[in-house]
Amino acid sequence: MENWFDVRQKVAVITGGSGILGGAMAKALASCGARVGILGRTAEKNERMVEEICSAGGQALGLVADVLDAQALEEAARRVVDAWGRVDILINGAGGNIPGAAIPPGEHFFEHHPYANLKRVFELNFDGTVLPTMVFGRYMARQKSGIIVNISSMTALQAVTRVPGYSTAKAAVDMFTKWLAVEVALKFGPGMRVNAIAPGFFVTDQNRALLTTSDGGYTERGAAVIRKTPFGRFGEPEDLIGTCLWLCSDASRFVTGIIVPVDGGFSAWSGV
């Protein structure tokens, strides 16, 4: 049993690895012996995460790149392969909503929603998953082995008010996950797998003000989320770790093309 979840010496790249959810997954993989590339735009944020991982005895490398910049991604991939010889795991964690892309309360889609922001948030979440997959996945295809884990969202499954660009991009990520799982299995064999994790609602820097009040309570939106979550709480970043290790290891070797909700029951419940 003990080898099923083994990721020792695997080389993992986590886009958004300096963020809250990506960071939790990066630290978990590193603590289980994987070597992890932390990819994000801001060198200082990457290095802070690298330092945290290395000082806990792990191996990590900071990779400065924008997930929308193919050239910078190619350069990052070369650095990983120069350092560690291969790429075994890619977690596409960079993403989220962006300021100006959420419809403010009291406004509506037809008159007030700027198309440019919708397009930007769509690109960040969809193109920002596809491009790193093309770049890092090419190394996996040559190896005929590799695991890709995309990060989806509850907003891909059911309409969540205010975030049309984010929701539709994550829904596209879900279909891309299924499509690519089939493509790589047929062309490169069962050593290549593609799955996604759909986190429920986790309080992070991006949504803290949307979900919680300064005195530690819930906003109206936060309270609506909690009411529809049978577990009655928001997610903690560590809640993702078990699913991440399962998808990144042989424990899930016959699993491809699925989107795993990690949501305290949010997606299962009608709310009644």
Ligand X SMILES: NC(=O)c1ccc[n+]([C@@H]2O[C@H](COP(=O)([O-])OP(=O)(O)OC[C@H]3O[C@@H](n4cnc5c(N)ncnc54)[C@H](OP(=O)(O)O)[C@@H]3O)[C@@H](O)[C@H]2O)c1
115 classed as catalytic: no
Least distance from ligand X to the Cβ atom of residue 267, Å = 11
Least distance from ligand X to the Cβ atom of residue 38, Å = 8
- The residue among 88 and 263 lying less far from ligand X, judged by its C-beta, is 263
Q: How far apart are CA 142 and CA 91, in angstroms?
A: 18
Closest-approach residue to ligand X (CB): 19
Least distance from ligand X to the Cβ atom of residue 111, Å = 27
Dihedral, 144, 67, 194, 26 alpha carbons, nearest 10: 90
Return the bridge partners of 196, or none.
150, 259
With contact defined as beta carbons under 8 Å apart, do 26 and 7 qualify? Answer: no
- Max Cα distance, the chain (Å): 58
Catalytic annotation, pick one of 115, 139, 166, 218 = 166
- The residue among 145 and 178 lying less far from ligand X, judged by its C-beta, is 178
Long-range residue pairs from 127-130, CB within 8 A, at least 24 positions apart, any chain? 127/67, 127/68, 128/15, 128/67, 128/68, 128/92, 128/94, 128/95, 129/67, 129/92, 129/95, 129/173, 129/176, 130/176
- The residue among 95 and 222 lying less far from ligand X, judged by its C-beta, is 95
- The residue among 153 and 256 lying less far from ligand X, judged by its C-beta, is 153
Least distance from ligand X to the Cβ atom of residue 69, Å = 8
Which parts of this chain interact with ligand X (CB under 6 A)? 15-16, 18-22, 40-42, 45, 66-68, 93-96, 124, 128, 151, 153, 199, 201-202, 204-207
Instruction: Extract the tokens encoding 125.
Output: 């979440």
Catalytic residues: 166
